[in-house]
Homo-oligomer: A and B are copies of this chain.
Amino acid sequence: MDGATNSRPRTRASYQRLSRDERRDQILAVARRLFTELPYAEVSTTAIAREAGVQRGLIHYYFGTKRELFLKVVQGLTEFAAVQAPPPDESMTLPQTVELCVDLFLDTAEANATTWFAALDAEGFGQDPELLRIVNRFRDATVEYMLTLLRVREPTETLRAVLRIYSGLVEAATRQWLQEKTLDRAQTRTLLARSLLVLMTDIAPSLEHG
């Protein structure tokens, strides 16, 4: 391989050494920004390294491969975008709880619009099983959270399925509101609240049979 391996000076490298966590977080932050701005393929590890003021090999040292780094980013996004849990209130009526629930969705979506859609968009990224697992875990967590908030005693698998479907409705509605701007927040709120109410009180029970 390279003839004069031993004679090469290999000097002049002035850099600052950081703790494992610091460097990790720093790279992760840069990667998060780039991955939410551009499609996966257009974000090169070279670009991430450059913006982090670091050599490309370091990314491999911390995250292994580019895909693994991407997965870490997506995981972070889903955790970040997860709805913050307020205490369940026993005195509220179902319609009230539903509206509260919807408001939480809308608040979260509005506050983290970019992040929110970046995480959702990541899903279609192919038939990547690992990525699918992450996004599904996020969906399931949301469903479980809805179940506690709505104080459902013993949720059936059917009800869970209905709520997962509903989360697809939430996603689509949020898109129309924040991205296409064909609905305003009040309209989106009404649509989502009434839909959820109908789904839970009316449609879901009618699906329960044999």
Residues of chain A whose beta carbon lies under 8 Å from any beta carbon of chain B: 38-42, 120-128, 157-158, 160-162, 164-169, 171-173, 175-176, 180, 182-183, 187, 190-191, 194-195, 198-199, 202-203, 206-207
Contacts and interface: CB of A to CB of B under 8 A. Distances in A.
B190 A195 contact: no
19 contacts: A39-B125, A39-B128, A40-B126, A41-B126, A121-B124, A121-B126, A121-B127, A122-B124, A124-B124, A124-B125, A161-B180, A167-B172, A169-B172, A190-B206, A190-B207, A191-B207, A194-B202, A194-B206, A195-B203
Nearest to A173: B165
Count of identical protomers in the assembly? 2
A39 B122 CA distance: 13
Contact of A198 (B124, B167, B190, B195): B195
A190 B165 CA distance: 13
Given A175-B168, A191-B207, A203-B190, A123 B126 contact: no
Contacts of A41: 40-41, 126
B172 A164 contact: yes
Contacts of A195: 195, 198-199, 203
A155 to B, nearest CB: 12
Contacts of A199: 191, 195
Nearest to A43: B126
A166 B173 CA distance: 9
Nearest to A193: B203
Nearest to A35: B126
